[in-house]
Amino acid sequence: MKHEQWKLFLAPYHQAVEELKVKLRGIRAQYELHHTHSPIEFVTGRVKPVASILDKAKRKGIPLDKIEEGLQDIAGIRMMCQFVDDIKAVVDMLKSRTDLEVVEERDYITSKKESGYRSYHVVVKYPLQTVNGEKKILVEIQIRTLSMNFWATIEHSLNYKYSGNIPEEIKVRLKRAAEAAYSLDEEMSQIKGEVQEAQVIFSRKTE
Ligand code: 0O2
């Protein structure tokens, strides 16, 4: 595909990511307005770069004319939460929405990946309104705590640096760091009530 063809192909993905970022950030704004704990801390989104799409399609043996169905994360959203319990609340919230349909779930929290990666992945079909009618776009939403996100971001950049072959010594440290991130989530869960009360008081004070 030439540059212009990729641009046309990716345009609806960009549109879907932008719309979902606005919608999902709006949930946090609603909680803030009511001074109640928001299960969502912040939301980011991206469209996979062409080079990464080509790499992943090759790695998974997906022909280019099948990437629309075969690659579920061309459009990607990340929703960060403070507490592990918030993740379930976010997933339930997504399932109850009428503007998207959850089609797949991958729970890498109850069963973490070999690398130490933890996150909850939900694949949704998002109906996008285009000038040529409705087009359903697959979007992968990754829901994780701040601590899981910290770990995943660091590990992702190391993976990039070492082209997927992280030296054994660093791998061991990363596994230890993953355990530390897990402990942090556990500890924070224990004082969740305290933290939430403090945040509500603080949000009223700063208004
Ligand atoms: P990027 O740069 O984040 O877009 P597969 O890639 O085959 O393992 P699949 O079937 O596409 O997985 O779906 P999955 O596992 O739900 O989603 C893969 C995405 O999850 C990755 O996208 C990462 O964003 C994240 N992820 C999965 N495993 C790890 C991990 O061990 N470490 C980190 N840091 N992230 C992980 P991409 O395409 O790899 O990259």
- pLDDT of amino acid 38: 92
ipTM of predicted assembly, 2 dp: 0.92
CB-based contact 119:110 (threshold 8 Å):
no
CB-based contact 121:106 (threshold 8 Å):
yes
- Is the distance from the beta carbon of residue 95 to the nearest atom of ligand 1 less than 6 Å? no
- pLDDT of amino acid 206: 73
Domain count, the chain: 1
Q: Is residue 27 over pLDDT 90? A: yes
54, 58, 57, 52: which is closest to 70 by C-alpha? 57
- pLDDT of amino acid 10: 97
- pLDDT of amino acid 144: 98
Provide the CA 184 distance to its chain's centre, in angstroms.
20
Backbone angles phi, psi at 134, to 5 degrees: -80, 140
- pLDDT of amino acid 205: 74
- Is the distance from the beta carbon of residue 87 to the nearest atom of ligand 1 less than 6 Å? no
Q: Is residue 1 over pLDDT 80? A: no
- What is the CATH number for 17? 3.30.460.10
Which range has the worst mean pLDDT, 24-28, 85-89, 103-107, 197-201? 197-201
- pLDDT of amino acid 142: 98
- pLDDT of amino acid 93: 97
| 205 CA distance to ligand 1 middle (Å) | 40
Check if 140 is active-site: yes
What is the pLDDT averaged over residues 23-40?
Answer: 92
C-alpha dist (Å) from residue 124 to 23, 65, 206? 14, 21, 36
Tokens standing for residue 198: 């403090």
Tokens standing for residue 2: 């030439």
What is the pLDDT averaged over residues 135-147?
Answer: 98
Domain range for 148 is 3-205
| 59 CA distance to ligand 1 middle (Å) | 12
- pLDDT of amino acid 202: 78
Q: Is residue 200 over pLDDT 90? A: no
- pLDDT of amino acid 24: 97
187, 108, 105: which is closest to 144 by C-alpha? 108
What is the pLDDT averaged over residues 165-193?
Answer: 95
Q: What is the pLDDT of residues 54-107, one digit of tens each?
A: 999 999 999 999 999 999 999 999 999 999 999 999 999 999 999 999 999 999
Q: What is the residue-averaged pLDDT of the chain?
A: 95
- Is the distance from the beta carbon of residue 113 to the nearest atom of ligand 1 less than 6 Å? yes
Tokens standing for residue 21: 């970022």
For the chain, first and last CA: distance in Å?
Answer: 51
- DSSP result, the chain: --HHHHHHHHHHHHHHHHHHHHHHHHHHHHHHHTT---S--EEEEEE--HHHHHHHHHHHT--GGGHHHH-TTSEEEEEEESSHHHHHHHHHHHHH-SS-EEEEEEETTTS--TTS---EEEEEEEEEEETTEEEEEEEEEEEEEHHHHHHHHHHHHHHHHTTT---HHHHHHHHHHHHHHHHHHHHHHHTHHHHHHHHHHHHHHT-
- Is the distance from the beta carbon of residue 185 to the nearest atom of ligand 1 less than 6 Å? no
